[in-house]
Amino acid sequence: FYLETEKIPVMRGQWFIDGTWQPLEEEESNLIEQEHLNRFKGQQLQESFDMEISKPVDGKEAIHSLKLSRNHVDWHSVDEVYLYSDATTSKIARTVTQKLGFSKASSSGTRLHRGYVEEATLEDKPPQTSHIVFVVHGIGQKMDQGRIIKNTAMMRDTARKVEEKYFSNLATHVEFLPVEWRSKLTLDGDTVDSITPDKVRGLRDMLNSSAMDIMYYTSPLYRDELVKGLQQELNRLYSLFCSRNPEFEEKGGKVSIVSHSLGCVITYDIMTGWNPVRLYEQLLQKEEEELEERWMSYEEQRLLEELYVTKQRLREIEERLHELKASTLSKPPVLKFKVENFFCMGSPLAVFLALRGIRPGTSGSQDHILPRTICNRLLNIFHPTDPVAYRLEPLILKHYSNISPVQIHWYNTANPLPYEHMKPSFLNPSKEPTSTPEPESASAAPSPTTSPVLVRRHYGESITNIGKASILGAASIGKGLGGMLFSRFGRSSATPQTMETGKDGPEGDEKKATTAGSPPLPHSSSGFLEPTVELEHRIDFELREGLVESRYWSAVTSHTAYWSSLDIALFLLTFMYKQDQEETDKSNLDTM
């Protein structure tokens, strides 16, 4: 998976330097190995000797020597081999020390060992890979070729640290594989480059190499090329991995996909088989229904009936044709594997689905947007300030627009609550003053014994309402650094804090906004949801903001900050190791 410019030599270590256990240069090592086999092949080593202690061979003559270009090697026995430098200074030093009574080996020789300090065993191999993760890039790969390989390497290294800390008791292993699908595509060739003006060329080239991918994907001419490019690369890598790991499929190995940005949309369309032609047919059908509903003359009705019969006949002929083709040639599946988990990072998928006509339903099933027969679990990960990311849950149940996404645990959180046990909470919980405030208390600074003032905006709430709340709370929030810190700590907490204001202040406005927007939901005084229509499992997961994090700067950097996050690495492995962890815990309980 490395680029041509990043070749890494792989050599076989045969002869190693005593103490440091560094391998000799490959050329010298091969010459020593060949000479050693010619002279000592068939002879047995000592049954046991301590490789960590170099015992000088005082008074022992060399039984064999080999001259190299800058060094020479002396064999005192089959397992006592020394390397000497033939530089002039080394020769002088050797002569002086030998005259002082020291042996040649102890004065300037470097002992060599054939083989490493630890002998290989049958168990000396990496753990079995039980889960592979394809990492799919989004836009901008043409601008920085190989970036997905570096990003995947960062994610892999971060996951290794998490595995060692939290999942070292499991005998299985998760492998991350980069999927670079953009560089092989032809698309328009250099047509766009040829029509690009020369002024501010650098900025224009950057946009052509990044944002242009979105335009290509929305183009009916090039969309299929992008879809087939990713689909073929996923299948190629899966076939290649299985050919090198034949036991993976036999032992029920699982496959997950981590997609970033536009890659989420393309991966989704591959899995579901979505095509713009289907949307066009739906629009035609809707137009027919509208025509039937409005008043029309007898002639229009007759022509419409003829059109309906003709289209019905055309559909029957097409279905028969498809059946004949299916009987002669079985169509292979789009992907050669079943997707266990589909992780979206910084994903605009929700916007694409909304523009395709997906609207909230009445069931809390993931099947509304992605059937579980195609993918077992859909998880949408985003940073709260990522400008490209959108929520998916409100497309399934509308009232989830007023329910907070699940907060992803910090990497170093002690005994975190499992995600399936976390209760949904409102973005703006009900107001419950701890004491009855006086009229002027709205402008008073918050005391340490009261809850911090916090103004949080509904997803979809109007800017006007926020402005009213902000004006009333400005006196308390704006009183120096203390108010800012209270607001920040309140925002970063796992459970949203309550907002203390006057009775006739923003509370009344917020009630009106709730009435005008989505219907009010039953909730407890703690801000958690009472039993109502809920999702089968949560889909939106939000990274936590840092306490001193600038939101404006985060908006610039957050979209590309997922790859090295320890929090995300722990989150991914938690879901991928979930079944293995449960089986291990069950076996431990059975043993006890």
Q: Which residues are catalytic?
A: 261
DSSP code at position 452: P
Q: Residue 255 is encoded by which pair of tokens?
A: 């496959």
Q: Determine how many CB atoms are found less than 10 A away from the CB of residue 488.
A: 17
H or E segment and range at residue 111: strand 110-114
Query: What is the rounded distance in angstroms from the CA atom of residue 58 to the CA atom of residue 107?
Result: 10
d(CA 556, CA 545): 14
Residues 16 and 9: their CA atoms lie apart, in Å, by 18
Q: Are strands 110-114 and 375-382 parallel, antiparallel or unpaired?
A: unpaired
Q: Is residue 431 left, alpha or beta, with left meaning phi > 0 and alpha meaning psi from -120 to 50?
A: beta
Give the CA distances from residue 24 to residues 81, 107, 111, in Å, rounded to whole numbers and listed in that order: 13, 20, 12
How do strand 71-77 and strand 339-345 relate by DSSP bridges?
unpaired
Cα–Cα distance for residue pair 507/498, rounded to 1 Å: 12
Using alpha carbons, list the distances in angstroms from residue 306 to 71, 288, 302, 449, 538.
Answer: 96, 13, 6, 77, 49
Contacts 24+ apart (CB under 8 A), 32-39: 32/66, 32/73, 32/81, 32/112, 33/114, 35/64, 35/66, 35/73, 36/75, 36/81, 36/114, 39/64, 39/75
Instruction: Kindly report the number of other CB atoms within 10 A of residue 365's CB atom.
Output: 15
CA distance 557 to 19: 46
Quote the radius of gyration of the chain (alpha carbons, Å).
34
CA-nearest of 194, 236, 189 to 216 is 189
The secondary structure element, H or E, covering residue 132 is strand 128-136
DSSP state, residue 485: H
Whole-angstrom Cα distance, residue 506 to residue 499?
Answer: 10
Residues comprising the chain, all counted: 592
Sign of CA dihedral 534, 539, 544, 549: negative
Enclosing H/E stretch for 65 = strand 64-67
CB 13 within 8 A of CB 116: yes
The 3-state DSSP class for residue 118 equals coil
Strand-pairing partners, residue 131, are 174, 254
Residue showing tokens 């015992």: 55
What gap in Å lies between CA 540 and CA 532, rounded to an integer?
Answer: 19
Phi/psi at 354 (5° precision): -65, -40
Q: How far is CA 161 from CA 154, 157, 175, 215, in A?
A: 11, 7, 13, 39
